[in-house]
Structure 1
């Protein structure tokens, strides 16, 4: 997906066009290939089937195109009337559950949304990208894994600020008050939005923040008349449920037939690629991934509350209010309480502003969560 992220195409291509109408999406300055470049072999993978690369010198090259056993996921806006009808068509009887993620989140917190597209300060950019990085680290540590984009984070950080101000990228944010709880980094090309990196604060997981992000991105696409919300490759459940356009990727091998050794290398490359795709077709890669997940599941999880058992008890009023001290769950000292507090808010539909947290002095591992109409005592045990 270098086209979306870096606006780069291999030297052998003159432009990228839409497959259905041949409209040019991206074109480079016309110039001949250097003499040494003419003797290169170009292997290009993950070309969405709705795009066609066009060669600079079509008469000088052999171009072999094959479909990969990789699926891409996107939402075509021409098939979306409004968000409510789209949820019904995609989620059927579960559409109310998905919509509830939005209504419940907005009922329990001071939620607001913002898009940085065309203008962002360096201070705001640094703050938001740091928050996104922290969300990715924390969320994937919970899964005992690492997001691959974290390995190139400094490169992303260096490039994206200017891309946002040039309207080549955007940051979509869901805030709880002034705190970002979901961030999506998107790249823009023509009428396509590519949702490249997104994450959320796992303390809010009960609220289905990922669904809320998708609802708001679809609404943005409809409002500003984007034609495609691209979610890229990777067979994930949320993509299958959200996307109305599932397509295959292509790969191409391009080489100069007049070169002495390149045609032989191209045949070897094509053979290697065909074997790789055959193994994918036979699901060998899924066997590997399942084994990796199995071993990962047996290894220790970096869960912040894994060593604690939480007991919950619904109550009307504390027995001895004089033994209760009010605490601030937003402080660093008590941040471990947030996920339990937010689960209480979700189940009772209490608002965070109307909820107080108390530590029961005679039992320092017991806390009282008291909302406007509901209360719950929680006790941590080793």
Structure 2
């Protein structure tokens, strides 16, 4: 096979300051002004911030009180998860309709595999036109980088921002990465960064020169992976996007029941458990389904497209709404189930504008306990199942 045939062309696209851009689309008076999206009280948390605020040291997940101390003239708006989910889906549809293969990496970023497009159209021109189409159909600015793999394209997208584009030619991956600080490398967290810097490793070039056995002894399997990436090598494939990706759980009762208190406690228990699984895997859900099977084996379900979230409180509320609409026959229930679909990678950032700093810390502490002792170690009192009452 000819080497030209084996070349990959991968682009990473990232909607610039996504929450801020949506708010500016809704209100043009915010354009060019320092803008913070988050909780409106000084006990709230910064969910997103504009470039105009970042030069003052403001960043996401920062307490709102501190952000306003650093940038007192900033405008603060409460986040609108419905709008963000709408525009995320709008851009997703545009990209999916245009490219051969797409991976939705989060609510505001995508990878596309254009391998083969270079023979017929040209990847560079293809991406220029895709960027323009996204701007035309959504009104949102987006940056992208085109390279030979996911790693290099993602790193280069940061250099393309805001609202720009960048290309790293085949064969230049290692030299492009070399002068960059190790913190720019995906997969290097705070602890790994601190460890490497204590060893005098501050640039990706120095990291790439460390012998693989030494990296393996230092960081295990992750060390081998980082060594490969530091040399610009990343064979990770594009994972085709599918709205049908889902997680779910269901329970068949030993005794059919009509006990609404028990059924609601089961809905809450299952939803809480699935929400924890979402956060563990770094995902958000955009659709929730509740399923019932009656004692006569009739099975019914309802689903609801929702704003992307992994919040217990939001998901429990939606699940209970669906159950209330679904349970109409007043018949004995044999089985109940909950399922989350339309999953995308993402963090709880999209919910930061709904929570106070204390609430965010509480959720993190609860999840830390679940990670250590199991997902049943801590739960809402109302979700602790009682023995169901028999129908009268």
TM-score normalized by the length of structure 2: 0.22
Greater CA radius of gyration, 1 or 2? 1
More relative contact order in 1 or in 2 (CA 8 Å, sep 6+)?
1
TM-score normalized by the length of structure 1: 0.22
